[in-house]
């Protein structure tokens, strides 16, 4: 996926870097894992990223995106993903979820 396909991509990448930077100041670990999602109409895309090298002039962010889930067809799957991520079942207590999810 091209990282800058539209303004939504730029917006969520900025939010994810800002959340990672905020988490890094609270707990200065070398890598910060951030999770989010964005919606366009009834299409949902989940995003995870690892941000590192905060002390460099240009931090590095590695991004992984899910397939697009169509809300009217895959509402149950979307709900399960959100529940799993928001309960911290796989991410522990340091979850920072960003994006336009509601």
pLDDT reading at 2 higher than 80: no
Domain contains 75 = yes
What confidence tens digit (pLDDT) does each residue in 26-81 have? 888 889 988 888 888 888 888 888 999 888 888 888 888 888 898 888 888 888 88
- Specify the pLDDT at position 5: 53
Q: Could you give the number of structural domains in the chain?
A: 1
Range of the domain at 80: 1-25+32-40+51-61+71-102
Q: Is residue 66 part of a domain?
A: no
Is residue 45 situated within a structural domain? no
Does 82 reside within a domain?
A: yes
Residue 95 falls inside a structural domain:
yes
Give the model confidence (pLDDT) of 6-21 as tens digits. 565 677 888 888 888 8
Give the alpha-carbon dihedral of 18, 19, 22, 28, to 10 degrees. Answer: -110
88 within a domain of the structure (yes/no): yes
Q: Is residue 55 part of a domain?
A: yes
Question: Per the confidence metrics, is the pTM higher than 0.75?
Answer: no
């Amino acid at each position: 996926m091209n990282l800058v396909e539209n303004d939504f991509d730029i917006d969520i990448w900025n939010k994810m870097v800002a959340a990672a930077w905020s988490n890094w100041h609270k707990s200065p670990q070398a890598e910060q894992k951030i999770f989010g999602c964005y919606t366009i109409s009834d299409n949902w895309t989940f995003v995870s990223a690892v941000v590192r090298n905060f002390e460099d002039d240009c931090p590095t962010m590695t991004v992984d995106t899910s397939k697009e889930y169509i809300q009217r067809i895959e509402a149950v799957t979307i709900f399960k993903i959100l529940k799993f991520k928001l309960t911290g079942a796989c991410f522990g207590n340091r979850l920072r979820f960003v994006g336009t999810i509601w």
